[in-house]
Amino acid sequence: MITFHFEVNASFLKYPSHPITVPKTQVDYARIDAESLGPELRIVCPDGTRVEGELYHGTAGYGPYYQLRVRPDARDALAALPHGTKLRVDIRRDGTATEARLTQV
């Protein structure tokens, strides 16, 4: 299981995919591959709503990164979270699926 903390920010609220970048400072990216996480995700929101998403992998000017992204048709499940809300994100393999659970802390 991969665990990290995230604070709801402007880009999370602005974009319909509600991107959550997996911080390199908290997660060894090699573990994501080792645990066979993603790319398809079932995301469990703080209120218990389940939405579909992906664990996106890309490269930016500063190097590789991973990002949780919600499918746009499910964006309203997270739109009501206020800026500054602190979340714990747990990503784990659940049988054949990968689940990301967002818990308000």
Among residues 61, 10, 14, 69, which one has the least CA distance to residue 39? 69
- Fold entry, domain 2-104: At1g16640 B3 domain (2.40.330)
Please tell me the predicted confidence (pLDDT) of residue 91: 97
Please tell me the predicted confidence (pLDDT) of residue 31: 94
CA distance 75 to 31: 28
**22 contacts 74 by C-beta, under 8 angstroms:** no
Q: How confident is the model at residue 29 (pLDDT cuts 50, 70, 90)?
A: very high
